[in-house]
Structure 1
């Protein structure tokens, strides 16, 4: 656990840090995550997900893909929240995301998160400086995972909390999408989230603190299904 040098208390116990931490995870933060189903909408239409049991399996596979492919970028950006490192991670992830739908979703959410963070966490002027320096330049694509780690690092979250938070946000957004797609009710969604939490923690423990060179896909079928989202005749979500 990282220490706050001024107070000599664990950073996770710093009251002001906790306010920022909770706000970063709050669903009211307008980062656009609820506009995406992570391929769930396409999975329903191709009959890969037909009910609650399939939904739980789907969410676990999404979490495995998130952990194996994206957590290394969150981890690396949190450890070194600087512009040069962010640019390097963004370029690497842009090359690794071969699914066009997923890549556009990552850019959309990352751009929104950077815009919101630069406005909300104004005590960190480097966020605004970095965003303004890169807007319209074509230097970076603004992918979500590196920006999430960058923001976490700049607001003082330790790397473990940052990675767990990224897993939580992913699980929350997929379950929210399932609710709006009528796969599960609001109460059932809350029960499902609580039930999956221990599995998510086990997946996190397996994949956390890895270098980006170890990034990989664990459930490539889901990546393929998400890529079909743009061909759906009717759709509620962007991805």
Structure 2
């Protein structure tokens, strides 16, 4: 019960990792008419989640399989490959900001779990602290299963997108939370499909979403950073 309660705390929207500062392409998609109605928002969210599992999950799987405390050459290859796939500069920056915040937060929550070793390793390798990588490495150190970590990550990414749509005034709070509730029905299938894939099988699947993220800088007045 205590472990489940800690998991609920870590997925709380008030956790200060910085994720609520970004819309990850949703604001520009609404601004430039790529998403025009609720049907379009549903399609957007489905494409967004598909890209999350096809791109992020293989890296999470590979990170989780690394035997601790030794990080070694294997993680270096994974971290370099992930960094190379962060094609949009603002998303690259967001990932590293959240990664640093997450590591700092988990280090304060679990001072005996050796989170500082992760930071030192990345600094020695001169590699960015990307959120997906440190998210997985940290939660494995405190005993969460890979399936819990993946479900937690999907929940957080979906929640942030729905919250962005609400704060942008595109949908109301009740409609937004009903939409979020509906999308939980596909979580098990998404996780199952990508449960065994490794980092070298990661793919980007939503190129229009990537394009909308680039266009974010052209918005005259912005509510989110990206």
TM-score (norm 1): 0.87
Which runs of 5 or more residues in structure 2 are unaligned?
A: none
**Match status 1:91 vs 2:77:** no
CA distance in 2 between counterparts of 1:115 and 1:231 reads 33
* Number of equivalences: 223
Which runs of 5 or more residues in structure 1 are unaligned?
A: 1-14
CA distance in 2 between counterparts of 1:182 and 1:200 reads 26
Which residue of 2 is the match for residue 103 of structure 1?
92
Q: Which of 15, 20, 23 is the equivalent residue of 2:6?
A: 20
Residues 72 and 212, structure 1, Cα contact 8 Å, conserved in 2: yes
Q: Which of 187, 195, 207 is the equivalent residue of 2:174?
A: 187
How many Å apart are 1:72 and its aligned residue? 1.1
> 1:29-71: CA deviations, max 9, x gaps?
1111111111100101110112222111111111000000011
Q: Which of 136, 141, 164 is the equivalent residue of 1:177?
A: 164
Q: 1:157 to 1:87 in 2, by over 3 A?
A: same
Q: Secondary structure at the match of 1:228?
A: helix
- 4+ runs deviating over 4 angstroms: 132-135
How many Å apart are 1:88 and its aligned residue? 3.3
Which residue of 2 is the match for residue 235 of structure 1?
222
Which residue of 1 is the match for residue 101 of structure 2?
112
Superposition map of 1:1-239 within 5 A:
15-80=1-66, 82-84=70-72, 85-124=74-113, 126-132=114-120, 134-135=122-123, 139-239=126-226
Q: Secondary structure at the match of 2:160?
A: helix
**Aligned-residue CA RMSD (Å):** 1.7
TM-score (norm 2): 0.91
Q: Comparing 86-95 with 141-150, which one deviates more in the overlay?
A: 86-95
How many Å apart are 1:91 and its aligned residue? 1.6
Q: 1:87 to 1:119 in 2, by over 3 A?
A: farther
